[in-house]
Amino acid sequence: MARSPCCDKMGLKKGPWTPEEDKILVAHVQKHGHGNWRALPKQAGLLRCGKSCRLRWVNYLRPDIKRGNFSREEEDAIIDLHEKLGNRWSAIAARLPGRTDNEIKNVWHTNLKKRLKKKLATPNSKGHSTAAASKCDSGTWRYT
């Protein structure tokens, strides 16, 4: 299938978004919506590709996004959903209002790292590899 020549276009900005760009994007989306991400940056006067705009909006600028630390309940929900759904971050995010797939993915990776470290530090269950994880009834994780 054809690949979309998105960010490789010359003259498009990459890297962190500035507050000015955020303002422009928010104002444009609130006024016109985001029917066409590809056309949006041109209409809004942003030197970004549509993908970049969409990502910024979905992961950071959306008004319904809940910022800040994850509660214990949310973490438990992520763990539970991950067990059921696997790495379907968007599906998990859909069940956690105000959270984005990117955020959940980040949390998972950092938590997984922590848990792996913990597990290696306290090898109370011998012979487990690190290939897969499963939840025990106590809420702790086994990497089998």
Q: What residues contact 123, with CB distance under 8 A and at least 6 apart?
A: none
Query: Cβ 73 to DNA, closest distance in Å?
Result: 17
Q: Which of 74, 75, 80, 101 touches DNA by CB under 7 A?
A: 101
Q: Which of 28, 29, 44, 52 binds DNA (CB under 7 A)?
A: 52
Q: Please report whether residue 2 would count as binding DNA according to CB under 7 A.
A: yes
Q: How many residues bind DNA (CB under 7 A)?
A: 40
- Least distance in Å: CB of 123 to DNA? 17
* CB contact set of 118 (below 8 Å; sequence gap of 6+): none
51 binds DNA per the rule CB under 7 A:
yes
Torsion region of 96: left, alpha or beta (phi above 0 gives left; psi -120 to 50 gives alpha): beta
